[in-house]
Amino acid sequence: MKIAVLPGDGIGTEIVAEAVKVLKTLDLKFEMETALVGGAAYDAYGHPLPEATLKLAMDSDAVLFGAVGDWKYDKLDRPLRPEQAILGLRKNMGLFANFRPAICYEQLVGASSLKPELISGLDILIIRELTGDIYFGQPRGRRIATDGHFPGAEEAFDTMRYSKPEIERIAHVAFQAARKRKAAGTEGRVTSVDKANVLETFQFWKDVVTEVGKEYPDIALDHMYVDNAAMQLVKEPKRFDVVVTGNMFGDILSDEASMLTGSIGMLPSASLNTKNQGLYEPSHGSAPDIAGKGVANPLATILSAAMMLRFSLNQPEAAQRIEAAVQNVLAQGLRTGDIWSEGTTKVGTAQMGDAVVKALG
């Protein structure tokens, strides 16, 4: 088993170090190789996703990714910006399904900005399609961009598109995930989020998802407009089970869902291709505002490593051990600043990682 470790920028290096520490504690044999990505790779090699980094990722069973980006790169032409590395990895590895579980740990109910009764017991899964939509449609305007902006331009646009196979593929993933979750006790419902009332692309999305849904009579399907979904996620989040949506709506809704649970610092994510090769990363970014201070929450990255063990490395027991260790440190009252509340103990990034290692026993 080979893991490509790509820490990236900002807090990426700090949080990935803790996840690597946790992985090394497990009695498992895997090879880990580290490479530069994002702004760090641009600084060293002039490109956010150098050939060698891409090759390492493609040749590995899984990629453990930190985060990329910093405001200092905002002036670069778009293809050279750190965030392009993620798009490049997604595209080259064929990562089309992004899983973002939003689970509210009982110990953190007080850290959410929502009322405890709204989020206690919350366990929802947002599935975002990653390879289509407006992010990969034909962009116009860039041709005249000199420094990432468009001086003198009268307009710029991006086109939104989805193909039938792309929608079918992600719909199957969602229904199958709902089926697995139902077997473990959830409701067995897929909510497909669209904007079919305004956008042709999403009327098409809705029709195709409905068609695929007929193959899963045991799973309930409903459709919701994205504006309503954004509202329902904060009004009554527990009404959802599996949410499936396109690339852009998924980007926004998954961040919204992550805040339900208290902190974006708690939320892991997995992006998978058809071979279960995956890229695992926290849902948050490189947090330049707290980078280098040793205060970032490493738990989202540690939980991403657990998802990696489950989905790509076929080690579900090791994944469960990590998840139990995280619950254990939370039960001990240890908190990084983002989830700290009165009566709990504030710890830094490394202390939190050490506590998880200790809890693994």
Contact 279, 97 (CB under 8 A): no
Name the residue nearer to ligand NAD (CB basis): 201 or 245: 245
Contact 245, 226 (CB under 8 A): yes
Tell me the closest approach of the beta carbon of residue 97 to ligand NAD, in angstroms. 16
Q: Which of 260, 273, 265 is nearest to 303 (CA)?
A: 265
d(CA 360, CA 323): 10
Name the residue nearer to ligand NAD (CB basis): 191 or 271: 271
Binds ligand NAD (CB under 6 A): choice among 286, 304, 312, 315: 286
The DSSP letter of residue 164 is: H
Q: Which of 10, 67, 107, 40 is nearest to 279 (CA)?
A: 67
Residue 149, token pair as written in the block: 């902006």
**Whether 123 is catalytic:** no
What are the φ and ψ backbone dihedral angles of 140, each rounded to 5 degrees?
-125, 145
Tell me the closest approach of the beta carbon of residue 2 to ligand NAD, in angstroms. 22
Given the residues 105, 251, 346, 354, the one annotated as active site = 251
Tell me the closest approach of the beta carbon of residue 245 to ligand NAD, in angstroms. 18
**Whether 158 is catalytic:** no
Tell me the closest approach of the beta carbon of residue 226 to ligand NAD, in angstroms. 19
If one asks whether residue 338 binds ligand NAD (CB under 6 A), the answer comes out as: yes
Burial classification of residue 87, based on how many CB atoms lie within 10 Å of its CB (0-12 exposed, 13-18 middle, 19 or more buried): middle
Site string for ligand NAD, 50-89 (x = CB under 6 A): -----------------xxxx------------x--x---
Residue 118, token pair as written in the block: 């709204």
- How many Å from the N-terminal Cα to the C-terminal Cα in the chain? 23
**Whether 147 is catalytic:** no
Contact 262, 111 (CB under 8 A): yes
Q: Which of 79, 76, 77, 82 is nearest to 48 (CA)?
A: 82
Name the residue nearer to ligand NAD (CB basis): 108 or 212: 108
Binds ligand NAD (CB under 6 A): choice among 94, 141, 148, 288: 288
Given the residues 195, 216, 241, 338, the one annotated as active site = 195
Name the residue nearer to ligand NAD (CB basis): 14 or 166: 14
Tell me the closest approach of the beta carbon of residue 197 to ligand NAD, in angstroms. 29
Q: Which stretch binds ligand NAD (CB under 6 A): 21-29, 54-62, 186-194, 284-292?
A: 284-292
Q: Is 309 helix (H, G, I), strand (E, B) or coil?
A: helix
Encode 240-257: b = buried (16+ Cβ within 10 Å), e = exposed: bbbbbbbbbbbeebbbeb
**Whether 162 is catalytic:** no
If one asks whether residue 93 binds ligand NAD (CB under 6 A), the answer comes out as: no
Site string for ligand NAD, 259-278 (x = CB under 6 A): -----xx-------------
Tell me the closest approach of the beta carbon of residue 114 to ligand NAD, in angstroms. 17
Residue 166, token pair as written in the block: 């792309």
The torsion defined by the Cα of 169, 171, 173 and 174, in degrees rounded to 10, comes to 170
**Whether 135 is catalytic:** yes
Given the residues 91, 135, 182, 346, the one annotated as active site = 135
d(CA 242, CA 262): 20
Tell me the closest approach of the beta carbon of residue 345 to ligand NAD, in angstroms. 16
Name the residue nearer to ligand NAD (CB basis): 212 or 290: 290
Residues within window 4-33 making contact with ligand NAD, judged by CB under 6 A:
11, 15
Binds ligand NAD (CB under 6 A): choice among 273, 297, 312, 315: 297
d(CA 116, CA 309): 31
- The residue count for binding ligand NAD (CB under 6 A) is 22
> What DSSP assignment string belongs to 196-210?
TTT-HHHHHHHHHHH
Binding residues for ligand NAD (CB under 6 A): 11, 15, 67-70, 83, 86, 264-265, 281, 284-290, 296-297, 300, 338
List, by residue number, the catalytic residues. Answer: 135, 195, 227, 251, 255
